[in-house]
Amino acid sequence: MIYQKAKELDLKIHAAGNADDHAHIVLSIPPKIAVAECVRQLKGASAYAINHREDGDRQFKWQAGYGALTIGERSLPMVMEYAARQKEHHRSGKIVGIYEKIDAEE
């Protein structure tokens, strides 16, 4: 659902990954969309899809906050690798603090 919504919003997803309790998505957002609106749309569409599955309990909710970073072209491959390997980073305890911090206000 996140990839489908991203396509509707003209977002480019470079990489995505998840841990047990959160997801990281590396994407390019066109200037016509505010970061907060982009996050709201992606969270809303994915929560709706999860909660309307036949086998779901309709209790899924995203946390209130989110983190957003601006990265340069040179950092893109490293950030993409980090996002794609979320489970491994968390399992080994090798997380990068700046990539894991969230802003509790959305």
Q: How confident is the model at residue 106 (pLDDT cuts 50, 70, 90)?
A: very low
Exposed e or buried b per residue across 93-104, where buried means at least 16 C-beta atoms within 10 angstroms of its C-beta: eeeeeebeeeee
CA pair distance 82, 41, nearest whole angstrom: 23
Residue extents of the structural domains in the chain:
2-100
Q: Is 33 helix (H, G, I), strand (E, B) or coil?
A: coil
Q: Is 31 helix (H, G, I), strand (E, B) or coil?
A: coil
Note whether 16 and 24 are within 8 A (CB).
Answer: yes
53-88: pLDDT as tens digits = 888 677 888 888 888 989 999 999 999 998 888 777
Q: How confident is the model at residue 105 (pLDDT cuts 50, 70, 90)?
A: very low
Residue 25 has a CB neighbour count (10 Å cut-off) of 18
Superfamily of domain 2-100: Transposase IS200-like (3.30.70.1290)
| Whole-prediction pTM | 0.78
Which tokens sit at 96?
């990068």
